[in-house]
Amino acid sequence: MAEEKPLTVVTCTAPVNIAVIKYWGKRDEELILPINSSLSVTLHQDQLKTTTTAAISRDFKEDRLWLNGEEADVGHPRLQSCLREMRRLARKRRGGSAGAAAPLSLAYKVHVASVNNFPTAAGLASSAAGYACLVHTLARLYGVEGELSEVARQGSGSACRSMHGGFVQWLMGERPDGKDSIAQQVAPETHWPELRVLILVVSAEKKPVGSTAGMQTSVDTSLLLKHRAEAVVPERMSQMIQFIQQRDFEGFGQLTMKDSNQFHATCLDTFPPIFYLNDVSRHIIALAHRFNAHHGKTKVAYTFDAGPNAVVFTLADTVEEFVEVVKCSFPPESNGDQFLKGLPARPALLSKELLSAVVLEPVPGAIRYILLTKPGPGPQPLDDPNLHLLGADGLPCPSA
């Protein structure tokens, strides 16, 4: 019999995604089945990523989880769903290849440590990257291959889209068991090299109503949401796919803004109403429209999730000018030199015409910083053992 290693460890990273056709509302809360399909852009992991290490050992007494260095409740039902599903798939795979060596026992307990390279409080979708990373890491640990977005979906709906890079659609599916509610890549991250993404971090406050609770109230009370899911999204999905395939920024940008606005309209139509946008978000919306009007075409497109931060899509040739416009409109109070994080951009000189048409009433300090990024790949393995978040004892490394 082959000698068993005391500890088997795998580390992977996974990306954040931002929806341009929004998911809002479930038809099945347990399996996380949505009332409409959705479509997102996967963001580059050089700027935003979750790193997860999973380890199994005969010596572990119980399943344990550490999030950003703090031990967390492993009994969380969605975490349990993902663990259970991955173990089931691993068992199925073993069963299917009778006689194959089973180097690790499925009865062993697992330790999981996960960290984000961005502040969780920044309101960026950390659960999507987190569950995508968990599922991808467990899959490598247990040697499971194939369709895994279906498992990530059971952690958090939007997580299924983080299982692929580039442009990704989540097909709502029809089946009650959710087997056809999966994410698929529409185009790889290399498809639109000029596309850039600016995250305008407005506030680090915790959001008032979480997405899970918010969308359920919307399903229960908003007729607009029902109309959106049945009559609006299906057509928008095919339009958006076409705009992406044709790299048509005008079409892509317009539809992205309209879909964000409709999502926030369904929040207002929810009873009692939910407000995710704040005054700064509305300032950004007005600014983007003035910027586009000045140029006579769609040069920037905003979208907002369940919080006040804006995500702005633009093309590489517009980044520097728009960053400068944001700086002039929301003059940084103290961190002038650290206002722009992520990919580099040179300072731009703005014309008098642009300034007077677009920058109306500056609001100092309203934007904390801008993070510049671009579309990126799906989950990746990290093969360097120095990068594991769990040490030889199966406990978090001091730096993790």
Which residue type sits at 91? Answer: R
Spatial contact of 106 and 87, defined as CB atoms under 8 Å apart? yes
Single out the residue of 314, 215, 321, 347 nearest to residue 269, CA to CA. Answer: 215
Nearer to ligand DP6, 262 or 329 (CB): 262
How wide is the angle at C-alpha 208 spanned by C-alphas 202 and 211, nearest 5°? 95
Q: Min. distance of Cβ 270 from ligand DP6 in angstroms?
A: 13
User: Residue by residue, what is the 3-state secondary structure of 302-331?
Assistant: EECCCCCCEEEEEEHHHHHHHHHHHHHHCC
Nearest distance, CB of residue 95 and ligand DP6, angstroms: 31
Q: How far apart are CA 294 and CA 282, in angstroms?
A: 18
Distance from C-alpha of 7 to C-alpha of 280, rounded to nearest angstrom: 49
Bridging pattern class, strands 64-67 and 49-57: unpaired
Residue closer to ligand DP6 (CB basis): 11 or 38: 38
Least distance to ligand DP6 from the beta carbon of 23, Å? 3
Q: Which is nearer to ligand DP6, 273 or 364 (CB)?
A: 273
Minimum distance between the CB of residue 26 and ligand DP6, rounded to whole angstroms? 7
Complex with ligand DP6: residue 10 or 48, whichever CB lies closer: 48
Position closest to ligand DP6 via CB? 157
Rounded CA separation 213/270 (Å): 12
3-state SS, residue 9: strand
Task: Take residue 323 and report the two structure tokens written for it.
Answer: 């960053």
- Taking the complex as a whole, the smallest distance from the CB of residue 78 to ligand DP6 amounts, in Å, to 7
- Smallest separation, CB 158 to ligand DP6 (Å): 3
Residues of this chain that interact with ligand DP6 (CB under 6 A) are 19, 22-24, 32, 38, 125, 127, 156-158, 211-212, 305-306
Q: Which is nearer to ligand DP6, 25 or 253 (CB)?
A: 25
**Are the C-beta atoms of residues 71 and 114 closer than 8 Å to each other?**
no
> Measured from the CB atom, is 11 or 158 closer to ligand DP6?
158
